[in-house]
Homo-oligomer: A and B are copies of this chain.
Amino acid sequence: MALDRIDVKILELLQRDAHMTAQAIADAAGLSPSPCLRRIRILEEKGILKGYVALVDQKSVGLPISVFLSVRLERQREEELERFSAAINRWPEVVECYLMTGQRDYLLRVVVPDLESYEAFIKTRMSRLEGVASIESSFALSQVKYTNVLPIR
């Protein structure tokens, strides 16, 4: 891969605002639009730039609640892990999921409009999954920080 200063600068700018024009990015990165756009295409082809997305405000669309779930499975065989992964990837309420070290197997962030919906999520989704040993929920009172900008370098 080998990213130089200019690549890092481009990634930083695009992570903050994907609607910047090639001209503006070029100016900020210290080169002209064409090579700038060429670098961006290369970063896209290499998969370093995964995509461009719009960010939606959770509260504004009636989804104020984030719940974190610690999940333990009964067995950690590949088959079990695969089944769990496939399931949560189908469920739109689950926006993040990590395979963890330590006490629990998975950490999930689930987004719901209210507690009733959360109950429904647990009852109709999680509890019907086979192989789940335990679930522990903690509720987020507020989002103190949320960014897609990675600390590159």
Contact = CB atoms under 8 A, between A and B. Distances in A.
Interface residues of A, number: 63
Contacts of A92: 149, 151
A5 interface: no
Copies of this chain held together in the complex: 2
B15 A56 contact: yes
Given A101-B138, A144-B88, A150 B63 contact: yes
Interface centre among A46, A88, A149 (most CB of B within 10 A): A149
A148 B66 contact: no
Interface of A: 1, 3, 11, 14-19, 46-58, 60-63, 66, 68, 85, 88-89, 92-104, 106-107, 111-112, 138-152
